[in-house]
Structure 1
C-alpha cells in the first residue's frame, strides 16, 4: 500500500502552479480544460513535482468534494 494524496484541481487557470497544504493535500492549477486526458496530464504533473515516475502514480477516483485521489506506489 502506497502513499495516498488528495489533489484539488483547478482547470482553465491563467497559469500552472502546484501548492502543498500539508497532510498529503495539494492544489494544482492547470491551463488545460478538463477532458478525457486529464488523468494523464495530472499524473505527469505530479510525477514532475515529486520526482516519482508517472508509472508509479495510480488514480483512485474522486472524493465527495470532487478532489482527485491518487496513490504513489
Structure 2
C-alpha cells in the first residue's frame, strides 16, 4: 500500500514566503532575495499552491533587483 506524505505547515510556509518576498527593500537584498526564491521553488515543487509558487519566485527576483537599486539610490541621495 502506498502511503501519502502529509505536508503540514503549508500555510506557514506561504506566509513566510510572502513576507520574504518584500524583505529585500528593508534588509540586504542579496541575502534575502535568494531565500525568497528558494522558498518559492519549494512551494512550487512540493506543495500544491497553484500559481503562488511562480508568483513568489518572480517577485523574489524583481524585488531583489529593486532592493539593490533602492539601496543604491538611498546611498547616492542621502550620502549614507
TM-score in terms of structure 1 length = 0.31
Query: Which protein is richer in helix relative to its size?
Result: 2
Question: Larger Cα Rg: Structure 1 or Structure 2?
Answer: 2
